[in-house]
Structure 1
């Protein structure tokens, strides 16, 4: 498996790369944001480890630009561990977040977990006798190809955002609470069940906000497809 590590701390990058190589990964290092983005958009890597604070082009900008062209899994790495940074990582399209200093073993576990999810999705696409497709007005959510379209216009989402949209689509226009969304996405992704953490509320809201923006970016037909039911949760409807 090929990993792109975008990190300007040379010692940390080399130590991390050495550990990952010792666990069977091929690792390419980029020491600044511009170089990291150039290498990431080549599409030659299975996962990108992206530092938040980078010279020449910050991690935020790198992730934003990368998300316009690729759905490759991105794990954000940052020395800051406050909630605002975790939320920021979600808002710009990262699939996971790891605060420094981190355990190399945990990093390996997170990489493997993300790759398992993507491999499972690819395998399901190959083995599925019929495509799992949800259609509502102009919206098409194709789980087999992991593709979203609004009036024929493709909509780019992160892996987590696609899973969240699929859960909403599968609810057949029923309202789902944040807790229900979290539980169903975890089950869909093969994550173990756990107690609901109220802090997840903010993460769900952030992801849904980004999904709304992505849908709306396709045109007028994409606006208003996800509705908020105050005090209850969210529902996927027919838009404006």
Structure 2
């Protein structure tokens, strides 16, 4: 059984499951040790390896030094809450993140998605739903590690080239003028939806459908926040980047001219 009570917020690595090839690791960050224990046992039973952290500051260093495949954050925590943890993490990493929120934290929930979270689960939550969400996000993000040979074997999509943009859906890689741009799973899916049909205006609802599963409901203005983050990331490699157009009242489009 994983020890969900590490001293001073330090991590605890589960060793109860037999090691199998391609075993996915999940980091759990929550100051409630009972939740950590319950989640660890449940996820280990599903074949995942788990690490637990009881505060955001300790978790941040560990997530950057030794990234897991996915992380689950509580929002309300001492020292560094989940929102600040995500914000700091996104400055250096596109690690998939799921938020655990309470029903009275809906504004935080929307802000978390805008900051780059890939999904959220509302407490109290179904273990089955959580596992389903984890598997869906891992499936999308594991293509980052696919080699070109694996892409061919699995009949994965070919790279998409639109002017100075190159999207590789099989490996979740993005280049602009041959310079890499690191995107979260959600940001990638939004950009891909626009780039596949350059010049065609995509409504916020259409972009939400491309980026989120059917059982995730977000305010349409969350898409605006993702677009701002996309522009900021591309302008970090090209200050003149202007390929994402806004048609006010209608939506967004990608211009490859």
Give TM class, smaller chain. Answer: 0.7 to 0.9
How many residues are aligned here? 230
Aligned to 2:62: 39
Residue 164 of structure 1: aligned partner: 190
Runs of 4+ in 1 over 6 A off after TM superposition: none
| Cα distance in 2, alignment partners of residues 184 and 49 from structure 1 | 22
- SS of 2:78's partner is coil
Take 2:147 and 2:221, find their aligned partners in 1: how far apart are those partners? 30
Q: Is the 8 A contact 1:68 1:156 kept in 2?
A: no
Unpaired stretches in structure 1, ≥5 consecutive residues: none
Alignment of 1:174-185 (within 5 A): 174-185=200-211
Choose which of 194, 201, 221 in structure 1 pairs with 2:240: 221
**2:231 corresponds to 1:208:** no
Q: Contact 1:133–1:144 (CA<8 Å) still a contact in 2?
A: no
User: Normalising to structure 1: TM-score of the pair?
Assistant: 0.83
| Map of 1:155 onto structure 2 | 181
Q: Output the TM-score relative to the length of structure 2.
A: 0.78
In structure 2, what is the equivalent of residue 89 of structure 1? 112
Residue by residue over 1:144-180, the C-alpha shift from the partner in whole angstroms, topping out at 9 and shown as x without a partner, is 3322233343222110110110110001222122233
1:115: Cα distance to partner? 1.4
2:255 counterpart residue number: 237
Runs (5+) with no aligned partner, structure 2: 1-23
> Aligned to 2:165, which of 139, 148, 168?
139
* Structure 1 residue matching 2:76: 3-state secondary structure: coil
Distance 1:180 1:80, change over 3 A: closer
| C-alpha spacing 1:102/1:184, structure 2 compared with 1 (3 Å) | closer
Distance 1:34 1:216 in 2: 29
Match of 1:50?
73
**Given the superposition, is the C-alpha separation of residues 185 and 6 from structure 1 closer, same or farther in structure 2, using an over 3 Å criterion?**
closer
C-alpha displacement of 1:108? 1.4
